[in-house]
Structures are given as C-alpha cells and as structure tokens.
Structure 1
Amino acid sequence: MNSKAIITSALPYANGEIHLGHVASTYLPADVTTRFLKLNGVEAYYVCASDDFGTPILIQSEKEGKTPSEYVAYWNKRDYEDFKAFGIDFDFFYKTSSDENIKFVQDVFKKLNDAGHIYEQEIIQFYCNNDKKFLPDRYVKGICPYCNAEDQYSDLCESCGRVPEEITDPKCSICGQTPTKEKTMHYFFKLKNFADSLYKWLDESEHLQKDVKKYVQNWIKSGLIDWDITRDITWGVPIPLDNAKNKVFYGWFDNHLAYISTALKFLNDKGIDGKAFWNSADIYHFIGKDIVYHHYLFLPAMRLGINSEYKLPDYIPTRGHLTLQSKKISKSRNWYIGLKQFLNYYPADYLRYYLVAINPYSQDDLNFDWDDFTTRINSELIGNLGNFVNRALGFTKKAFNGVIPKTTTFDEKDKEAEEKISGLSSEIGDLMNSNHLDRALKKVMEFSSFFNQYFQHKEPWKNGPGTENCVYLAVNAARSIAIAVYPFIPESSQKIWTQLGFSDNVNDHKWDEMSELAIPAGHMLGEASPLFSKVEATDIERYKKQLGPQ
C-alpha cells in the first residue's frame, strides 16, 4: 500500500440533482475506499468537481433566464450539499469552469499541439435549421453503427460503450427533425498514434480490472479513430488559438483534466507540491461502465502525449449501472429517486449500507429494490449488527453497571472469539485493498453474526462461569465492529464508539486496532441505546407509489 493516494470519481454534470444511480457506482465506493485508506495511515485525498460545460447547460440556462455561470454555480452548491448529507467526505470539491482548470486545459492543449498530436481539419457536422445551431454530442440521437442499438447519443453508445464515428439515422434531440450537414473547421487529437503505447500500458497495469482491459485492448486491435476535440458553441474552455474563435473544447477533453487541476489547486493551497504528490501517489479514478472508453483511451493517451508529465492512473474501479425496481432509471419518466429525496426518508447509513451490500466489483448492473432494501436493513443492519451491539452493551450496563469485568481463564469458545477479533483487520483489509467492498462488508456482518451466536451460547444472563469473559469479549467485538464499519456507515460507527464510552472520534484510530482487545477491565461504557429504527412496510408502499408519472 502506497503512503499517498489521490482519489477521484467521475464528475457530476452540473445540470440536475444527484440521484441514487449516480452515487452507487462512483461516489460511494470512492468515499468508502478513501476512508479505509486514511484509517490505514495513507495520506489520501478525495477530490472532485462539477462538470460545468456543454450544450445541455447552455440551453437549460437560457430556458431559466440565467447565465451559464449562474446556472452551474447553483448545481455545484446543491450537488455538494447533497453529497455531504450522504456522508461523501470530499477533501475538496471544485468546478471545471474554474480559472485554474481553464488555464490547465489550455496548457495541456498547447503541449499536445507543440508535440504534433493535434491537427486541424474541415469536417461536416450536423446542423439543425430549425434551431439554428450546430448539434454536438448529445443533441444528436440515432442508431449505433457498431451494435445497431437505437436512440443512442452521437458521442457514446450506452449499449456497447463505443464512440461512433458517425451515428446512423440522426435526429435533432431538441426538435426531433433530421439535421442537415454543414462544413466547419475542427481540431483533432491523434488518438490512433497512441494505439501501441495504450496497449502496452494496459498490459503492464497490475491493478486494472482484467475483463475491462481485455475488451479495451480488443477496441485497440479493431482500430482507433482520431478524436474530434472541438465544439461550435460558446460555453466551454476556449481553444487558445487565434483562428479558433467561437470554438471550445469538447467536454471530455477538459473534464478529466480537472482531476489533476483540482488536485493541484487543493494540494498547492495546503503548501504541498501538488505535481510531486500526484506523481508519487496511487491514483484512483472511480467510474461507471458507460465511460470506460474515455478513461481507458482518451485520458491515458492525453497524459502520454505530454510525456506522462502527470502519471497515469493505477486504479480505475469500474462498476455497473443501478436500475430501480429492475427498470432503467429515467428522470424524464420520473423513474428515479433523488438523493436528497431519499435522505428525507431514511438516514444516509441505511442507503450506504444497502448500496455497498448489493454492488459487486464488476460491470454487472445492480438493482435497487424497495422490498429487498427493507429486508436487508431490518434483518442485517438491525437484526444482526444492531442487535449484537445493543445486547452486548445493554447487558453490560444492566448486569455490571456499565463497567467491564475482570476476566478468568478462557475456554475454547472464548479462545475462538478472541481469534475472530485478532484476525478481523487483515481478513477485511485484504478485500478492501482488492476493491471488493461488498465482500468486505459481508465479512463484517459474518463477524457480528458469530458474536451474536457466541453471546447466545454463553448465556451471560444466567451469571454462570465465564460470564465475565463473555462480556469482556463481546464489548471488545463491538469496538472492532465500530472501526470496521467506519468506511461504510460512518455515522453509525461513531454512535457505537460513543456508546462504548469513548470521547474521541473513531477515525482518530488505525485500521489494525480493530484486532486488539483494547477495552480493559474497569472501563466504563457510555449510554446504550438502539442504533437503528425498523423500516416499515407501510412507508415503503407509499414511496413506491411516488415513482413514475404523477
């Protein structure tokens, strides 16, 4: 494990509220990983930014009578507040429209241009005569030429994940009419020239997912196409050339560069050499499977094009999409749950627990199901973990006035319980290091289940031989759980910590401390109370009815 790390996640587009689908694949896994790394003593920083540029923002801001800057400022603030309420603990949250990012993007372009990786070419682009504008990216929909999927955007097929050279049967996304083709001058990045170096980087990368690497390498083998990095709109990072007036960079040219510029801004302001830190740290980019093409091809090629002045990512954890009740999430059809909306229903830790538990480290899609959510929270989080902590601490308060008793000689069951505690940090840590967050959380729940059974077997309420040992080990197991669940459910973790009678914060401690019997005889517990409240079926039925057309 490197002593330094920079963690990023795909930038939230500043054009609407954050919903459950956004947080499941990127922000929550990134946050859990960052918290884990920090507990292990890693100097880790989680940085992010709102993605502020593009045609959709320009059009929507016009509809609302705002400038684009005013529009994205609102969503930057709102998104950050929603993330914070969910327990996403960014070290720094910035914006792609910042002066720092604009300057950085233009500087990278100049270096790529000077190195001969950019060329100018006249192209034919879709133009809507009805709306009187060129139609970049998501304002043209049609059929993917690779897999024949319908209703796909011109810059990305969400079905096969490839970027079409030209969409088939194009339609204007604004008015639905067939656009014409007009001439315009654009700038291109020579992506084709990086095929060999990209293939080699993928081959040599130790931590990238094997299945993702394989099909990206197949893309490379089938032939890359040069990348059009220009857009004919007014809202974006201006191209720093005299003959490129009224042209800006394609959003995917500038937004992932904000990973670097945002990190540099944050670190330099802290008095740390940002560039040196970046190049000596482990770099994580958490993404969803729909943007693999950009992060495995565009992003590394651009860094290679400036002679790897900033190191390429070590990890690109890639996960699938979230569906809702087994249907694709759709804002236009009101088939989604806003993050802020959900947090009005239940505590953040309920959602954090559920989304980690159902989310494997793979590109397989996952499904949010209200009934499954109810079952898992009630039977696992409350019936297992909450039940154990409450009974262990509650019994100690009742039978020993909250004071941990002195132990006697351990029997075989006690020794087994002691071994469970001593092995917990490495058992869970190995899974966390491998990004199998769901499996790590499952191990915590198995640990809690073991101690529920241990407590039941020892029957301390009968006050027989070994009662003191049972109380001592059970309370120490609750302490282990408090540290182990901190990355996943931090608010509940701190509640356990406080009930254990500690006045500091659980994250002031180290990961390995969970495997210590650190609560001695004579320690006084705090006040014990239930950690969670049951999810009621009647409430769930009401929430279900709020989905879909109203």
Structure 2
Amino acid sequence: MCSDTPTIRTSEHLFVDLSKLERKLRGCLETSFEGVGWTSNAKTITETWLRDGLKPRCITRDLKWGTPVPLEGFTDKVFYVWFDAPIGYLSITANYTSQWQKWWKNPNEVQLYNFMAKDNVPFHSVVFPSCLLGTDDHYTIVNHLNATEYLNYEDGKFSKSRGVGVFGDHAAQTKIDPDIWRFYLLYMRPEGQDTHFSWADFMLKNNSELLNNLVNFINRSLKFVSNAYNRVVPDLVLTGVDVQLLALVNRELAGYRNDMDKIKIRDALRRILNISRLGNQYLQENQPWKLIKGSAGDKLRAGSVTSVAANISCLLSILIHPYMPHTSQVIQQQINYPSDGNMIPDSITRMLPSGHTINQPAPLFRKLEEAEISEYKSKFAGRQEKKPDPPIMNGNLEDEVSKQGLIVRELKAAKADKDKITREVAKLLELKKKLAISKGENPVEKKKGKKKK
C-alpha cells in the first residue's frame, strides 16, 4: 500500500446491456430448467439475478494483466475475466477440432453440461448465455448446470495465502496415487451441502472402502482365477443363489445409471461400492477356495462362483472408469478386457466367457499409514496465527454491509438452513458494528422504542 489518500477518478468502460437480452434468456432458461441437470443452488442463484430485472454489466477493467480489448479508445483496458473466460470454451474446442461448430452451434442436437462451484453460477447461467444469444448466431446454450457447495479443510477453510489445505500441485507432490485423490474428492463431493476434507477420513476411506472393499474383491476374484484355474475363466452353471446376487447387482447398476443421468456423482460412486460389497459377501458365503477341494459337484460350484466374481470385477472396471480412469485401465489389462468395451450395460452379462484367459493380477493400491498421513496433515496445516483484519474505508464498509445484507436476504428467500442463516446474520451485524465505529457512532446504542404500558 502506498499510504496516499485515495482519490476518485472517472474511467470509461464497455458494458453489455443484459436488460435487452433478458426476454430471450428467460425463454431459454424456462426450457433448460425442465431438465434434471440443474442443482437447486444453481436455480436459486440464477432466479435471484433475474428477479429484479437484469441491468447493464461492465465487461472491462483498468488492469495491467488480462486479455487486451481490441477496440479503439479502450486498448489500455482488459476484459473482465468472467466475460472473457467462457469464450475460451469455444476456442479450446476450435483448437481441438475444426468441426467445433457441430458442438457449439448445434443447440437442437447438443446438450451442454456445466460443472462448477456455486460462486461462478451467474457468469454461466446469465452473463455468458446472454452474450451468446446477443449474437443471433444459433449458439448452443447451457442445458444443465451442476453447482457444488463448498469443500472445507479439516476444521476450517482452504487458504492459499496462509498455506492451509492441499491444492493440485501439492497432491502431485505426495506419494499418493492420483486415482485415490479422485476417489476421495468425488466420494466427498459437496452435493447439496458443504463437506470437509479430513486427513483422518481420507486414510479411513482409502483403507476401508477402497482397499478392503473394492480392491479386495477384485484382487481376490482375479487371483483365484489365476491360482486355481491357471488364469482361465472356468465354466459357469448358475444357481438360485447366483441369480439372486445378479439381481441385486442389476438393481445397483440401474441406480448407478439413474444417478449418472441426474448428475448425482457421489451417489453413483456409492453404488459401485455396494456392488463390490455384495461381491465380497458372495465370496465369503460360498468360499470357492474350499469347494475346489471337494467333490466333482463342489468343484463345478467353485468354478461357477469364480466365474461370476470375475465377471462382476469386469463390470466394476467399467463403472469406475469415470472416477478412476487409470485404475480402470489397469484392471482391464489384468483381466485382458478391451478398453473399447467401456460401455455401461443395462444389466450385467458374461463379459468374460468360459475359456477366457486373463493376465497376471497384481495389487492396485497400498494401505495408507498413520505416520504418513500425520506428516501430510502437519505439512499442509499452514500458518495458523490469526492476522488482524486490515483497515477498511467507510465506503468499502458500506459496500460490505450491502453485499452481506443481500446474502442474508437470498438465504432467507431460499429458505436455507437455519444455522447457515444465523452465521451470515452474525457477519452482517459485525460489519454494521464496524461501520458505526468508523463513523464515530456508538455501536451498542439501542434504538429508542415505545415504552410498554
């Protein structure tokens, strides 16, 4: 800070007159909202912007960094990032393929899905679609907008400035497999409410749900095919027990497909874990390692159980592909299954027929140890000392009070969680207190009311 007294200066900027595009936008959104892909918070935020009518919005800034404005008289300015950034979606596609217009100028045949944190909803549901509609050039407009709540860190919040939390470059520096990160972050995806990243829970989910459940079932199934049948999938004769298991698997598979269609990514992942859990129970109850030592009938039964388990493992390798692509590929290499077969079926089939030869199975993940996790937790704890709030000028305080008041009103209008409203109201009262002090007023002075008789 230079410590000089701030001065008010005028600056000429470019605006998008959203009010002239509001009618078109409302028409598109009415149709778009009928789809299943809009989260409730995305709808609420968008409707809040539309409620009082759209207004002209500034799209330029007086900054040194950013995309320069290529218009005479404004070349010393840059575009506001959230006007400029969404245009990159089109240019990135155009860099990828010369057929980009088949995607971005084809609204009748293309469904556009957006995924983001709730902070960025209005730029993708109001501003960018309005700009596209303003061109009158038949662009594809967002059909589904899936917005998450906040992922917090341990007992607080992520903070790059204080070094609190694990960010992408930090995760890459750990010795933890990238697919484990993908698994846990999607398992804890803040759909509908805030969630917390916890190192203790991260270790627990890896060691229990991922390692002891999913990986354990696949490894047991494939190792038994390798050790007992010389890597050849045995003959299969289904019994009532097998049919009952497959019915339960198909029920979870139908739920998985439905969850994916509705963009319930976290719930779909739990469906995968339910299937592997059913598989583990099936192996434990039928114990093919004992049956194979028995009579001819027992040996036939052992082969059937092994074949069913191997085919469920193959199904799981397909279902986890959107979540853990590398692990999916490794499993399919082990079972000798073509990667172009990654089509999610309506029901489980014999993807690995009798006589199919698998490759040598190997462990997929390792157990995370407490000492390692404690080291990472300490490393990414950051600077915990509380810094004093920087001084705020009266004008800025008034802006902060206004912004916080809007947040409280929006939460009340959306009938949000009572505790969340209480926290935001407390912030508003604290800001009002600071504003009163800055004006030389007594913040604890109560307003005079009528005396009760």
Give the Cα separation in 2 of the matches to 1:514 and 1:532. Answer: 28
Give the Cα separation in 1 of the matches to 2:228 and 2:78. Answer: 71
Question: Unaligned regions of 5+ residues in structure 1, if any?
Answer: 1-173
Find out whether 1:184 has 2:14 as its counterpart: no
**1:147 alignment counterpart:** none
Q: C-alpha offsets along residues 18-74 of structure 1, whole Å, 9 cap, x if unaligned?
A: xxxxxxxxxxxxxxxxxxxxxxxxxxxxxxxxxxxxxxxxxxxxxxxxxxxxxxxxx
**1:524 alignment counterpart:** 357
Q: CA deviation at 1:180?
A: 2.1
What code does the residue aligned with 2:286 have?
K
**1:396 alignment counterpart:** 225
Percent identity between matched residues is 30
State whether residues 388 and 448 of structure 1, in contact with CA within 8 Å, keep that contact through their aligned partners in structure 2.
yes
Corresponding residue to 1:195 among 22, 47, 54: 22
Corresponding residue to 1:288 among 102, 114, 117: 117
Q: C-alpha offsets along residues 97-154 of structure 1, whole Å, 9 cap, x if unaligned?
A: xxxxxxxxxxxxxxxxxxxxxxxxxxxxxxxxxxxxxxxxxxxxxxxxxxxxxxxxxx
Q: CA deviation at 1:476?
A: 0.6
**Counterparts in 2 of 1:136-535, with a 5 A limit?**
179-205=6-32, 206-207=34-35, 208-268=38-98, 275-276=104-105, 280-307=109-136, 309-343=138-172, 344-362=174-192, 364-408=193-237, 410-422=238-250, 425-463=253-291, 464=294, 465=298, 466-502=301-337, 504=338, 506-512=339-345, 515-535=348-368
Q: C-alpha offsets along residues 160-202 of structure 1, whole Å, 9 cap, x if unaligned?
A: xxxxxxxxxxxxxx55776321012112211233334333333
SS of the aligned residue for 1:323 comes to strand
Q: Over aligned residue pairs, what C-alpha RMSD do you find?
A: 2.4
State whether residues 233 and 248 of structure 1, in contact with CA within 8 Å, keep that contact through their aligned partners in structure 2.
yes
Would you tell me which structure has more helix in proportion to its own residues? 2
State whether residues 356 and 437 of structure 1, in contact with CA within 8 Å, keep that contact through their aligned partners in structure 2.
yes
Find out whether 1:545 has 2:378 as its counterpart: yes
Q: CA deviation at 1:327?
A: 1.3
What code does the residue aligned with 1:519 have?
L
Q: CA deviation at 1:306?
A: 1.4
Give the Cα separation in 2 of the matches to 1:357 and 1:186. Answer: 44
State whether residues 404 and 521 of structure 1, in contact with CA within 8 Å, keep that contact through their aligned partners in structure 2.
yes
Q: Out of 417-426 and 324-333, give the one that drifted further.
A: 417-426
Please, what TM-score do these two structures have when normalized by structure 2? 0.76
SS of the aligned residue for 2:333 comes to helix
Rg larger for: 2
Give the Cα separation in 2 of the matches to 1:245 and 1:407. Answer: 73
**1:104 alignment counterpart:** none
SS of the aligned residue for 1:334 comes to coil
Give the Cα separation in 1 of the matches to 2:104 and 2:216. Answer: 48
State whether residues 42 and 118 of structure 2, in contact with CA within 8 Å, keep that contact through their aligned partners in structure 1.
no
**Counterparts in 2 of 1:93-108, with a 5 A limit?**
none
Q: CA deviation at 1:457?
A: 0.8
The structure-2 alpha-carbon separation of the partners of 1:493 and 1:462, relative to structure 1 and needing over 3 Å to count, comes to: same
Q: CA deviation at 1:223?
A: 3.8
Give the Cα separation in 2 of the matches to 1:210 and 1:495. Answer: 37
Corresponding residue pairs, total: 372
The structure-2 alpha-carbon separation of the partners of 1:452 and 1:323, relative to structure 1 and needing over 3 Å to count, comes to: same
Q: CA deviation at 1:265?
A: 3.0
Q: CA deviation at 1:360?
A: 4.4
Please, what TM-score do these two structures have when normalized by structure 1? 0.63
Would you tell me which structure has more strand in proportion to its own residues? 1
Give the Cα separation in 1 of the matches to 2:251 and 2:244. Answer: 11
Give the Cα separation in 1 of the matches to 2:357 and 2:68. Answer: 63
SS of the aligned residue for 2:11 comes to strand
SS of the aligned residue for 2:152 comes to strand
The structure-2 alpha-carbon separation of the partners of 1:315 and 1:275, relative to structure 1 and needing over 3 Å to count, comes to: closer
What code does the residue aligned with 1:257 have?
I
Give the Cα separation in 1 of the matches to 2:317 and 2:244. Answer: 20
The structure-2 alpha-carbon separation of the partners of 1:478 and 1:225, relative to structure 1 and needing over 3 Å to count, comes to: same
SS of the aligned residue for 1:474 comes to helix
Give the Cα separation in 1 of the matches to 2:257 and 2:284. Answer: 28
**1:77 alignment counterpart:** none
Give the Cα separation in 2 of the matches to 1:422 and 1:176. Answer: 68
The structure-2 alpha-carbon separation of the partners of 1:338 and 1:238, relative to structure 1 and needing over 3 Å to count, comes to: closer
Q: Out of 447-456 and 274-283, give the one that drifted further.
A: 274-283
Q: CA deviation at 1:508?
A: 4.4
Q: Which of 1 and 2 has higher RCO (CA within 8 Å, sep 6+)?
A: 1
State whether residues 481 and 514 of structure 1, in contact with CA within 8 Å, keep that contact through their aligned partners in structure 2.
no
